[in-house]
A and B are shown apart, each in its own frame.
Chain A
Amino acid sequence: MEVVHVENLTKVYGSGHTAVTALRDANLVARRGELVAILGPSGSGKTTLLTAIAGIIEPTSGRVCIGQTCFYDNGWQVRDLRRFRREHMGFIFQSHNLVPFLTARENVLIALQINGVTGANAVGIAQQLLDYLGVGERQEHLPEKLSGGEQQRVAIARALANSPQVILADEPTAALDTERGKSVMALFRQIAREKGSAVICVTHDQRMIEGFDCIYQVKDGQVSTTSQK
């Protein structure tokens, strides 16, 4: 069953002489429980593709569907995109993007709280996720007191907090050592399998490619090759 369906997605930045086509007629499909990689050199358009799937940038044309809902079909189809995001997506980005004035645990809790999960239940989930990612003992520390790898693991915990349909990750293992990276990928696979989430990763990390179910190559805005394992 398709969880993410991208069809003929085009994104043009600017207009007239300064127009730059970042994506041209891109197509992508991610099914329940699949790990999908988006590969490509810098500036190829892979992050544009990821942010378009996330509904963060508005595509120029095409169609993006999550589950049964096509939230973009040559125009926004969903009024409250933020709500749609928090209910269906989890995010892990290259810059660790933790709220600096919240502790590691609170960074996970805030995602749960925004989605209506509060109290002991929320604390339990946060604790479990942080322990699982190996940062349970650091849960009371502010991000500035955590190493880059620890910050990334907290960001992953936050993305997983609401058991989203889709996890969108931009270089999620870049700041982790091989062992931790593999364990994160294993965690992604587990989440994908147990929750039916699709995980879409933009990555350069050759160490992790072997774990993906499906790989998309992006070059000059075109999703030109698709390799399926």
Chain B
Amino acid sequence: MNLAIRDIKYHRGRFLLTCLGVGLLLTIVMSMSGIYRGLVEEALVIIRGVNADLWVVQRDTRGPFAEQSRLAEDVRYRVAIVPGVREVSPFVFYTIQRQRHGQPLRFAVVGYDLRTGLGGPNRIVAGRGLAQKRYEMVADDKLGLALGETLRLGLHDYTVVGLTRGAVGSGGDPVAFFSLADAQEIQFVKDNWAVRNARERAEAAYERALPTQPTLPRELARQFADNPDLHQVNALLVRLDPLADPRAVATAVERWGHFTAFTTGQQEELMLTGSVDKARRQIGLFRALLVIIATVIIAQIIYTMTLDKLKPIALLKLIGAPNRTIVALILQQSLSLGLIAYGIAVVLGNLTFDKWPRLVVVETADQLALLGVVVAICMLASALGIRRALRVEAGAALTG
């Protein structure tokens, strides 16, 4: 006869409610490691998806994901003639936020060269990839856009021709892929109001400059205001010949003095040691705190459950029950509580994690580690209750 199970059955309503509460807490604990893994995965998904041999960015920047990098698009032709380079492709990456049906629509824009395809979507789950250079887009399904839907961005409408899955930017925002020209235009081309404003500013600047530069042509100032340089990119993606040495090519590019070149491994390192590392430490702290909180809560619950049972425990001692019977009663209840709560956490996590706003990646190893932690904290938490139970005198069974 198992006393722990009998007691649980007797108090099943309260016990299950407690399990549910602890289970929700453990769901949060489990999500913490999942969110961290999700952060890492999201931070690296584009870098790994692109899988370039080298990333050429503006000198001394950690672009294009960790910080802003800008370089002229035509640098691609200079890089292309470096020995060992097979292919160079311009790459644009930035995040925008627009309104759609009255709701904010935030996503990362990736602009890539359709000819090379480097930097473009890896896996189309519906529709097709970009087939023409203008006014098409491929969106991640997390954006909620339907195939054929059009989205107004800047001066033009863009039609969704394909959907991807799991394409997210380093900040977790879903990605929309555009042709390079479209991505540049969305970012740089001004609308009529902005053009008028820029003209006025240019006129004012011209008037201010006239006393010192009387030969400055007025038309040049106006033209500059009307036609910004669209041909800017955030990085150049480089594919090397099979036997080329990435470090040698990077050194050759960096020797020009305007650029820095990173391998994919270095890009990943930049992401992981930058913003992701801070998030990792923050989440680690949260996780540790939650484990402590869970331990305290379980300890308190077990202790309270033990206090409720002091008289039966005294009675068991009176009729000669050995300490191991009483220890087993409390320990088994504590473990039952922990394991049922853990089961609730696993089920709840499996059912809901894919609906969380950020990617939550829970691996089997994480689940097993949490199981170990739960067993450990249950044993630790029951120590207080066991200590109290063992101090009860058998004579307490005779009072009231």
Contacts and interface: CB of A to CB of B under 8 A. Distances in A.
Interface in B1-36: 1, 3, 6-7, 9-11
Contact of A101 (B312, B322, B395): B312
B7 A110 contact: no
A199 B7 CA distance: 32
B313 to A, nearest CB: 9
Nearest to B400: A95
B312 A82 contact: no
Interface in A132-177: 142, 158, 170
B357 interface: no
A97 B320 contact: no
Interface string A95-135: 10111111000100111011100000000000000000000
B315 A97 contact: yes
B6 A158 contact: no
Contacts of A86: 319-321
Interface of B: 1, 3, 6-7, 9-11, 311-312, 315-322, 325, 393-395, 397-398, 400
A91 B321 CA distance: 13
Contact of B317 (A47, A82, A170): A82
Given A82-B321, A102-B1, A102-B3, 13 more contacts: A51-B395, A82-B322, A85-B318, A85-B320, A86-B319, A97-B311, A97-B315, A101-B6, A101-B10, A106-B1, A113-B1, A114-B321, A158-B319
A51 B320 contact: no
Nearest to A84: B320
B9 A101 contact: yes
B217 to A, nearest CB: 97
A87 B394 CA distance: 16
Interface string A67-108: 000000000000000110111000101010111111000100
Interface residues on A, range: 20 to 34
A114 B317 CA distance: 10
Contacts of A82: 317, 320-322, 394
A134 to B, nearest CB: 22
A222 to B, nearest CB: 22
A56 interface: yes
A83 B322 CA distance: 7
Given A97-B397, A106-B1, A114 B319 contact: yes
B325 to A, nearest CB: 7
A101 B11 CA distance: 8
Contacts of A47: 398
A100 B312 contact: yes
Nearest to B313: A99
B395 to A, nearest CB: 4
19 contacts: A47-B398, A51-B395, A57-B395, A83-B320, A83-B322, A85-B318, A85-B394, A91-B318, A91-B319, A97-B315, A97-B318, A97-B398, A98-B315, A99-B315, A101-B7, A101-B11, A102-B6, A110-B1, A115-B320
Nearest to A110: B1
Q: Give the interface centre of B9, B10, B318 by most chain A CB atoms within 10 Å.
A: B318
Contacts of A102: 1, 3, 6
A8 to B, nearest CB: 22
Contacts of A106: 1, 6
Q: Give the interface centre of A51, A82, A85 by most chain B CB atoms within 10 Å.
A: A82
Contact of A56 (B9, B11, B312, B398): B398
A95 B393 CA distance: 17
A158 B319 CA distance: 9
